[in-house]
Chains A and B, each alone.
Chain A
C-alpha cells in the first residue's frame, strides 16, 4: 500500500517536471576576501534537488524555467537569494554571518534556526572558555546574558558554583533554580566540564520553556556538549592547560590584641560596665615580648595564597555517518582558606552512527566525574563565622601550665589543631551520567526517538575530628578535651529519564510545519545512610576504632516522580510569519491524587518584518518582532511528600538510662497542596543592522500565583515545621537588552566584538491570600504590595549627639561625660524599651507612629536585597596573533543587611572589632553622624535597624585574558595545528562601597558576614590543537 503511494508520488513529480525544460546553471561562490567556499548549499526555489559547491567553490545545479531564484546557504555565512536572469553562470560573494542568525540553537526537545525563534532565548557563546581558569559553568555565564542574574556562591574550591536567577525570583521559599538540561537530559550544571560545552541556550520566556512544563517556571538552561565538527573522519586532538595562583578578594582587618583590650574597655564603659582589663594587662600585650601575650591575626593564620592547575584533553572525529568526541580533564585546586581543596577528574564521551541508509541513528554517551572536596573539620561557613569571634589576644598554641604539654591549643586555634592532626571534612563525589537513544526516520520528515538515561550520583562524606586539648572555651581559660569524632555519610541518587518523541516536519510551498509529540517519565530515588562514632582508640577515620557504646545511625530516603505528555506545533509561512504552540500535561508524585496533574499551554508568534517586500530596499536591516504567552508550573519544593503529615521516628527518649524509640508529629500537611503556576507574557524585538550590529530587546511580565510557600501556621497547632501551602501571587516585570557589535573577520586587520547587556527587574508581591505579609528567616519580611523579601526593622534617623540629652545639675557641662546620667530630651522618642540607657553615640530611631515611644510597631521595610539593575559587557579584540578578551558585570540597587561579629562591635560579647570600625567610631571628640560609638551590649546587637543596611552594588571586572597564537608556519613544523599561550586574570577589579573587608557578591539571601570570600586568580595557560 505504502509502496504504491510512493510510486504515485514519484510519477506525479516526474510528470510535473516533464512539462518543464530542465537546464543546468553553474558558477562559483567566494567569500568577501575572494577565497572560494566549499559545501555551500545551492537550492533552486521550486523544490528541485540542491547542489553543493566543491573545494574550489564551484557548483552546478539543475533548474527549470519555473525556477526564479537560487538560495545560497552555509553555516556562518548569510543566506543569499539570487534571481536567475538569462545568464547560465552565477558568481556570488557570500557575506560572513557575523551575528550568527543562521546558527542553529538548541531549544526544548529540538533545535531551531536563530532567525526563526519566536520566544526569548539567549544564546551564550563560551568560546573564550579555553583561555579562562574557571571552575564552574556559572562563572562562564556571568555577565553574558540579559535577564540572567548570577552570583558566585563563594571562592572556596568545591563551592564555586553560582546562584542563577532567570528573570528574578518568582517563588517564595522554593527552588528558584532554573532547570538544567544537558544533552537532552535533566542534570546539574556541575555535571559537565566547562571546556566540554559547545553551546548554551537560556530559555527565559514561558513559551520557550513551556515544553518543560512543571519544571520550568524558573527558566531553563540548555547545554549541548561538544560533539565534534565534521573533520572528514580525521582525528582531532585538543589540549588546554592552565596554572593559577589565587588570593582572597577581601578580608577584614582586625585590630591588634592590645587595641582590642583598650577598645573593649571603652565599649564596656560606654554601657556602664566595669573594665575588663587593667592597664598592666594591656601593657603586657603592647610590649609584645612574651608569647604569653600574643597578637594574632586570625585571618593571616587561616588564609594563604593558593595554586590551581587544570588540564584538558579532547579527542574528536566526525564523518558523515559517524562521529565521536571524548575528553578527560583534571583539576587540582588548593583553597585560599587552609585545609580547603578540590580535585576532580571528569570525562565526557559521545558516540553516534547512522545505519540502514541513514534511517536509524544510534547514539550512546557517558559523562561523569570523580571529585574530592576538602574542608577544615567544620563546614566552611561555620569556620568563617567562628573566625570572626577569635580574639587577637588568643595564642595559637602554648604550654599547658598543669602538664607541660607544649601543644596546648587555644580554643581559637582549634581549626589549626584539627588540620595539623589530620582532621577535616572531605567529600568524595562520583557522578555517572549514561544515556542512549535510537532515532528512526521511517519516512521523510518523520523522526521517532526513544531516549533512556540514568544519572547516578554518589557521595561519601566524612567528617573527622581528632582528639586534642584546648586551653579555653570562648569565655574562660582551663583545659578542655576535644574528643575525637567520626561521621560518614553515604548518599546515592538515581535519576531515570524515559523519553519518547515523534517529530514530523512538513514543507509545502511557502508553508513549513513541524509537529512534536512526546511522553516523558522521570524518577529520582535518594538514599543516605549516616554513621557516627566518637572517642576513637586510634587516630584514623575508621568506625572500628570508635567507642562501641556510642554509635549513632541514621537513614534518609525518598523518591519522587513526574510523568508528562506534551506536544508542539511550529508553523512558518514564507519564513515570514512564525507561530509556535506548546502544550504540556504533567503529573507529580509530590501531591495527593487529584492534585497531581497540571496543564501548561503556551503560544508564541513572530513576524520577520525584513522578509516583507516593502523592506527589500532596506536590506541592511534584519528585524523581527516577537510575542509570547505561556503558563509554567513549579513543583520543585523542598519536600517530596507535600501531602503527608510528618511523624518523625527519631523522637528518642531514655527511661531507666536506656534509650528507647519515640515518635512525634513535626509537621501537619495541607493535603490540598498543588502546583505553583507562573504566567508570562513576553514582547521582543530582534534587530540586526549591516550584519554587524545586533540588538535584542525584551519586555516581560511574569506573574506567579498559587505560590507554594511554607507559611507560618499557628504554633498552637503543635507542629514544629511549617507545611507547604498554595498562597499568594507575585509579579516580576522587566526589560532586557542585549547589544552587540562585531567586525567582519579579516586576517590582517583588527577584529573586534563588543557586547553589552542590561536587565531591569521590578518585583512585587501582589497578594498573600488572607495574610498581609509573611516573615522569613534573617529579619526578612514580604509585604503585599512591596518587593519580595525585604529587610524588616527600625529606620535609623541619625546618631544621637550630646545636645539631644539632659543630665545632672541642669546639664552642667562641667560634669565629665562618663559621670553624666544622660536622659533624652523631652520631645525625642523614648527608645529605652529597646536598648538599655540610650546615650550620645547610639542610633536614633524613627518613631513612625509618633507615640513618643520606639516599640516594635515602629518597624518598617528598610531595604531590599533583590538587585534593581544588572549589567554585563564583554569585549573581544584580536589583531594578528594577539587576542584580548574582557568580561565585566555589575549589580546595582541591591541592599545587604550585615550584622554580627566584626560588623557590630564586640558582637554578642564574643566578637572583636575591625580597624574601620575603630577609625570611624563615634566619640565625644569625633561626634560622627554616621557611625555609632563602641558598645558591648546584646540589646543593641539584637536591634535590626537600617544602620546595618549596606549598599551591595558592585562592578566587577570578571575576566581579562590576553592570548598569543604562535605563527602557524612555525608550529606546523612540529605537527601542531595551533598553539596559543595566554594570561588570564579573574576578579581583577572590584568597585563597591560595601562594608570593608567583605565581598558584596553573595547570595541575595545571605545576611550574615560568615561567608568565604571570592578569590582573585592569575593564570598562565596553553592551548594546543593537533
Chain B
C-alpha cells in the first residue's frame, strides 16, 4: 500500500511542480493586434517620465534646484543619478520598441494597423537613440530584443547610431498617418517623425537637410501656431492644439496608474525650484529691446512707492513693480516674479501672492516657474494632467530659420517670416524682427536673434541644454546663479538687490558629453575603454 502511495506521488510530481506565472505576461504569447497595440502603448509608457525633459533646464542657466546640484555645478560623475537614469530610461524604450518590431511580423493584423504600430515603434526607438547619441556619443546599438547572453555589447560609433536613427525616422514617416481620431491623440504621427528627423539633422549640423525636413513638416499643412502661449502648456489647450507635434501624455487624477504629472505640481508648490536672473533678463520690453539696452526707454526699474494693492491683475500687469511691466508677455507666462500671484487659496479661491522673503522659503533668487503650472486642480498634490511638449511647430519654424542661416544659403525675408510667426503669436505679439533689428543683418547677428528667440520661447521645455551643448557656449551658460536677494523684498521696504546666490564656472576640459554610466561599464564587458 505504502509503495503504491509513493509511486502515485511520484507520478504527480511533474504536474505538481509546473507553476506558471499568473500576474504577468510573456511576449512569446503575442497572438493578435491587441497584444501588439498594448506592447506599443508600453513603449510610450517607458518614454513618459516625470523628470524628463524639464529638469534639464535646472542644470544649466535657466534655473537651479538642489536635487540637480551635481549636474548644475558640473561636479557629476558616471554615477550621478540623472546620468544613470537617462541612459536606463532610453534603453527601456529601446527594448520595448525592439520587442514590438521583433514580434509584429508573427501576428496577423490589418495593414493600416501594422504600418502604424511599426512606425510608432521605430519613431520611439529613434527618439531614444537620438537622445543617447546626443548626450553620451558612442553607445551600444541594440536593434532586437536581446537576452542576458548578449549582455556584452561593444559601443557603436555615434555617426552610425545617428544614421540608424535617420533611416528609421524616414521609414517611420512613410508608415505613420498624418493624424488620428481624438481617441488616439498623443500617438506618433508622420509630422512627428519628420520634425524629429529635422531636429536630429540640425543638432548634427546637417543644416541643408534639416531645413528641408522642416519644410516638409510645414508642407503637411497640419500644424499652426497656437494663439495663447499659456494654454499651450495646459490641459485645457490639449484638444484643439495644432502646434504640438509630439508630447507626453499625462492625466489628471491618474496617479495610481502612474499617469499624473507630479513634476508640475512641484513647480507649483515647491519654491526651491528657482529661476535664475539670467533667464529673467532675457525677456525684452514690449518694444523688442533688452532691459540692459541703454536705448530702452520703456524699461523702468523704479519701485512703486505705495503699498501693495490687491493682486488680482498682477499676472497680466506683471507684478508689483514697474520693472515687471511692459515686458515680453512670455515673461509672465513663464516666470513668477516677486509680488505676483503664485497660487490660489484652495478653499476660498483667493489669489496668493509670492512674497520672496517669507519664512521657510527655499527660493533664493526670488523667481519661480509658472509655465506648465495648472491652477485649475484646487491645490491637490501630485495629480496634474499637464503634458510636457517634446516637439512643437514653433520649434520647427525656428529650426528652419536656424538651419537656413547656418547653411549660409538663405533668403532673409523667409527667415524673418519664420521667426515672426513665433513672435506674432496673438498671445505674445512682440514686434517683428525687422522692426527692431532692421534688415540686412550679418549671418552672426541673425544667428544671435534666433538663439535669443529660442531661449525665451522654449524656457523650461528642456531644450536649452541641447542648444548649449550643440552651440558649445559653456562659458556663457555655466555662470554663477544670480537673483534678487529675498531678504530685501519685504512688503514694507522693497529693494531689488541683485546678488550672487551660488558660484560656478565652466571647465571646458570636462567637455559637454555625459559619461557612460558606471553601472553599464561594470556589467557590460563588451565596452572597452
Which residues of A line the B interface, CB within 8 A?
A: 272-275, 277-278, 281, 391, 393, 402-403, 405, 448, 469, 472-473, 475-483, 500, 502, 519, 521, 523, 532, 534, 549-550, 552, 554-563, 587-589, 593, 596, 640-641, 644-649, 651-665, 668-670, 711-720, 723, 725, 770-771, 775, 832-837, 855-856, 908-909, 938-939, 942
A-contacting residues, B82-130, CB 8 Å:
84, 87-88, 91-96, 98-99
How far is it, in angstroms, between the C-alpha of A652 and the C-alpha of B256 when the chains are bound? Answer: 10
Extra contacts besides A473-B270, A714-B140, A714-B524 (8): CB < 8 Å: A274-B485, A391-B360, A475-B361, A589-B17, A644-B21, A649-B24, A657-B238, A836-B73
Q: Which of A403, A523, A588, A669 contacts B348 (CB under 8 A)?
A: A403
How far is it, in angstroms, between the C-alpha of A448 and the C-alpha of B43 when the chains are bound? Answer: 58
Across the interface, name the chain B residue whose C-beta is closest to A937.
Answer: B69
Which residues of B line the A interface, CB within 8 A?
A: 2, 5-6, 9, 13-14, 16-27, 35, 38-46, 48, 66-67, 69-70, 73, 75, 77-79, 84, 87-88, 91-96, 98-99, 139-140, 142, 145-148, 150-153, 180-187, 238, 249-251, 253-254, 256-259, 269-272, 342-343, 345-348, 350, 352, 358-362, 364, 378-381, 385, 485-487, 499, 501-503, 517-520, 522-525
Contact B249 A655 (CB under 8 A): yes
Contact A716 B140 (CB under 8 A): yes
Q: Which of A272, A560, A664, A855 contacts B42 (CB under 8 A)?
A: A664
Contact A519 B9 (CB under 8 A): yes
Given known pairs A589-B17, A651-B46, A662-B38, the reply for A939 and B525 (CB within 8 Å) is: no
How far is it, in angstroms, between the C-alpha of A172 and the C-alpha of B507 when the chains are bound? Answer: 41
Contacts of B84 in A (CB 8 A): 715
In the complex, what's the smallest C-beta–C-beta distance from A784 to chain B, in angstroms?
14
Q: Which of B26, B139, B269, B502 contacts A644 (CB under 8 A)?
A: B26
Given known pairs A500-B5, A655-B184, A717-B146, the reply for A662 and B41 (CB within 8 Å) is: yes
Contact B358 A662 (CB under 8 A): no
Across the interface, name the chain A residue whose C-beta is closest to B258.
Answer: A652
Contact A587 B21 (CB under 8 A): no
Contact B359 A477 (CB under 8 A): yes
Across the interface, name the chain B residue whose C-beta is closest to A549.
Answer: B253
Contact A720 B17 (CB under 8 A): no
Q: Which of B187, B251, B347 contacts A403 (CB under 8 A)?
A: B347
- Closest 9 pairs (CB-CB, A-B): A718-B95, A662-B41, A664-B42, A552-B256, A714-B524, A651-B42, A662-B42, A589-B19, A715-B88
How far is it, in angstroms, between the C-alpha of A651 and the C-alpha of B47 when the chains are bound? Answer: 11
Contacts of A942 in B (CB 8 A): 70
Contacts of A549 in B (CB 8 A): 253
Contact B525 A770 (CB under 8 A): yes
How far is it, in angstroms, between the C-alpha of A477 and the C-alpha of B253 when the chains are bound? Answer: 24
Q: Which of B184, B185, B251, B269 contacts A473 (CB under 8 A)?
A: B269
Contacts of A659 in B (CB 8 A): 251, 254, 257, 259
| 29 intermolecular pairs with C-beta atoms under 8 Å apart | A472-B360, A475-B269, A475-B272, A478-B352, A483-B380, A500-B2, A500-B6, A523-B16, A550-B253, A558-B19, A640-B21, A644-B20, A646-B24, A648-B24, A652-B257, A653-B42, A655-B183, A655-B185, A656-B182, A662-B41, A665-B145, A669-B148, A715-B87, A716-B91, A717-B146, A720-B88, A834-B75, A856-B77, A908-B66
Across the interface, name the chain A residue whose C-beta is closest to B73.
Answer: A836
Q: Which of A596, A662, A669, A716 contacts B17 (CB under 8 A)?
A: A596
Contact A402 B348 (CB under 8 A): yes
Q: Which of A393, A521, A652, A939 contacts B45 (CB under 8 A)?
A: A652
How far is it, in angstroms, between the C-alpha of A472 and the C-alpha of B84 when the chains are bound? Answer: 33
Contacts of B503 in A (CB 8 A): 272, 836-837
How far is it, in angstroms, between the C-alpha of A95 and the C-alpha of B87 when the chains are bound? Answer: 75
Contacts of A550 in B (CB 8 A): 253-254
Given known pairs A480-B381, A556-B23, A558-B21, the reply for A718 and B91 (CB within 8 Å) is: yes
Contacts of A654 in B (CB 8 A): 186, 249-251, 254, 259
How far is it, in angstroms, between the C-alpha of A500 and the C-alpha of B381 when the chains are bound? Answer: 58
Contact B41 A557 (CB under 8 A): no
Contacts of B44 in A (CB 8 A): 653, 662
Across the interface, name the chain A residue whose C-beta is closest to B36.
Answer: A663
Contact B346 A665 (CB under 8 A): no
Contacts of B75 in A (CB 8 A): 832-836, 939
Given known pairs A532-B256, A715-B519, the reply for A665 and B27 (CB within 8 Å) is: yes
Contacts of A561 in B (CB 8 A): 16-17, 19
Contact B73 A939 (CB under 8 A): yes
Contact B350 A402 (CB under 8 A): yes
How far is it, in angstroms, between the C-alpha of A841 and the C-alpha of B387 when the chains are bound? Answer: 46
Contacts of B272 in A (CB 8 A): 475, 909
- Tell me which of A473, A534, A559 has the highest count of chain B C-beta atoms within 10 A of its own C-beta: A473
Contact A716 B16 (CB under 8 A): no
Contact A856 B79 (CB under 8 A): yes
Contacts of A554 in B (CB 8 A): 256
Contacts of B24 in A (CB 8 A): 644, 646-649
Contact B183 A658 (CB under 8 A): yes
Given known pairs A476-B361, A655-B184, the reply for A712 and B45 (CB within 8 Å) is: no
Contact A273 B95 (CB under 8 A): no
Across the interface, name the chain A residue whose C-beta is closest to B45.
Answer: A651
How far is it, in angstroms, between the C-alpha of A443 and the C-alpha of B40 when the chains are bound? Answer: 69
Contact B270 A274 (CB under 8 A): no
How far is it, in angstroms, between the C-alpha of A596 and the C-alpha of B17 when the chains are bound? Answer: 8
Contact B95 A717 (CB under 8 A): yes
Contact B92 A521 (CB under 8 A): no
In the complex, what's the smallest C-beta–C-beta distance from A425 to chain B, in angstroms?
17
Across the interface, name the chain A residue whose C-beta is closest to B99.
Answer: A665
Q: Which of A651, A652, A716 contacts B524 (CB under 8 A)?
A: A716
In the complex, what's the smallest C-beta–C-beta distance from B271 to chain A, in angstroms?
5
In the complex, what's the smallest C-beta–C-beta distance from B417 to chain A, in angstroms?
33
How far is it, in angstroms, between the C-alpha of A855 and the C-alpha of B23 when the chains are bound? Answer: 45
How far is it, in angstroms, between the C-alpha of A669 and the C-alpha of B146 when the chains are bound? Answer: 11
In the complex, what's the smallest C-beta–C-beta distance from A822 to chain B, in angstroms?
13
In the complex, what's the smallest C-beta–C-beta distance from A175 to chain B, in angstroms?
18
In the complex, what's the smallest C-beta–C-beta distance from B347 to chain A, in angstroms?
6
How far is it, in angstroms, between the C-alpha of A723 and the C-alpha of B151 when the chains are bound? Answer: 12
Given known pairs A479-B345, A654-B250, A664-B42, the reply for A557 and B238 (CB within 8 Å) is: no
Contacts of B347 in A (CB 8 A): 402-403, 405, 469, 479, 481
How far is it, in angstroms, between the C-alpha of A942 and the C-alpha of B79 when the chains are bound? Answer: 12
Contacts of A556 in B (CB 8 A): 23
How far is it, in angstroms, between the C-alpha of A663 and the C-alpha of B84 when the chains are bound? Answer: 23
Q: Which of B38, B70, B180, B360 contacts A939 (CB under 8 A)?
A: B70
Contact A563 B17 (CB under 8 A): yes
